[in-house]
Amino acid sequence: MELTDAGRTLAVHAERILAAQAEALAAVERGRGEVGGRLVLGMFGSAAAVLLPPALHRLRSRHPAVRVVSREADVDQAYAEVCAGRVDPALGLDYPDAPLPRGGKVELVRLRTERFALAVPAGCPPRKAARGALRLARAAELAWILPAPASYYGRAVRTACRRAGFEPRVAHEVTDTATSLAMVAAGLGVAPVTDLMLRLRSEGVTVVPLTDALERHLVVAVDAVARRRPPVAALIRALGEGAVPEG
């Protein structure tokens, strides 16, 4: 469906009205003595399991008047969910080789950068791993466990593999982190892995560092105006503190 000229004009004015409303809400909240309010946080499974419980506990201890309602969403839809106003902030993953959209009213706040290693069945490191690390090209002959190529994650890994000179031989197309690591442990293939992913499951796998620069950024997608709201800023701060690497 294509908007008419009148429809486009109305949409522009509606967007301005919503932005002004958000600015007014942020100003009112900044003027209060107590940080409070209801927020809807978009989150995805692995981040919810690892980061969300301690972050919400931290937020509650500091600002008991802030109420956070978590809503699970596809990690690839973080930007779209915020744009549509279905959530306030949303946790997402941004890959240099398959970046999230940029521009518009939504900003990406980086919480943490993680390098990928390769998860292989325990006790079976690739024979061509040199000095404990492996060039990605040396894994060309292995069976891979990856998400679909339409996903940001799947696209990013395939792009890195092609840059290394090969097309990964995908034996199993899996999105869920715990499931993919369980399949690695069962000897069904290898999969890229980060420290946060390993906190979901680490038994039965050996982690082999990669010499190639393959990384992801854990981000919060948030409306630029909403980011100035005290409860939103407090939530992002709590999430960021929980995303700091251990040790």
Token pair, residue 214, equals: 């393959």
The backbone region for 229, taken as left when phi is positive above 0, alpha when psi lies in -120 to 50, beta otherwise, is beta
Q: What are the boundaries of each domain within the chain? A: 5-112+217-242, 117-213
Query: Is residue 59 a contact partner of residue 235, using CB atoms and an 8 Å limit?
Result: yes
Q: Confidence band (pLDDT; 50, 70, 90) for 133?
A: confident
What are the strands of the beta sheet with 191-193, ordered from one edge?
A: 191-193, 117-121, 205-209
Give the model's pLDDT for residue 31.
52
Can you name the residues that pair with 220 across neighbouring β-strands?
91, 109
Give the model's pLDDT for residue 13.
41
How far apart, in whole angstroms, are the C-alpha atoms of residue 217 and residue 92?
A: 8
Provide CATH code, domain 117-213: 3.40.190.10
Quick check: 12 pLDDT over 50? no
Q: Confidence band (pLDDT; 50, 70, 90) for 7?
A: very low
Average pLDDT over residues 150-163: 98
Token pair, residue 121, equals: 């069945």
Average pLDDT over residues 86-100: 96
In this prediction, what percent of the chain has a pLDDT beyond 70? 83
Q: What angle do CA 56, 82, 54 make, to 5 degrees?
A: 10
Give the model's pLDDT for residue 29.
53
Give the model's pLDDT for residue 18.
46
Which of 6-20, 42-56, 69-83, 95-109 shows the lowest per-residue confidence on average (mean pLDDT)? 6-20
- Count the Cβ atoms, other than its own, within 10 Å of residue 75: 22
Quick check: 176 pLDDT over 80? yes
How far apart, in whole angstroms, are the C-alpha atoms of residue 89 and residue 106?
A: 9
Average pLDDT over residues 218-244: 94
Give the model's pLDDT for residue 43.
94
Provide CATH code, domain 5-112+217-242: 3.40.190.10
Give the model's pLDDT for residue 45.
82
Q: Confidence band (pLDDT; 50, 70, 90) for 128?
A: low
Average pLDDT over residues 94-122: 94
**What is each CA distance from 109 to 8, 9, 103, 225, in whole angstroms?**
30, 31, 13, 13
Contacts of 153 by beta carbon, 8 Å cutoff, 6+ apart: 75, 93, 95, 98, 146, 147, 175, 216
242 versus 20: which is more confidently predicted?
242
- Max CA separation in the chain (angstroms): 66
Contacts of 95 by beta carbon, 8 Å cutoff, 6+ apart: 152, 153, 155, 156, 215, 216, 217
Which of 28-32, 78-82, 145-149, 226-230 shows the lowest per-residue confidence on average (mean pLDDT)? 28-32
Q: Give φ, ψ of 179 to 5 degrees.
A: -65, -45
3-state secondary structure of 7: helix
Same fold, 5-112+217-242 and 117-213: yes
How far apart, in whole angstroms, are the C-alpha atoms of residue 31 and residue 76?
A: 35
Calculate the average pLDDT of the chain. 87
What pLDDT, in 10s, does the model give residues 237-247? 999 998 877 65
Quick check: 206 pLDDT over 70? yes
Query: Is residue 208 a contact partner of residue 117, using CB atoms and an 8 Å limit?
Result: yes
How much is the pTM? 0.83
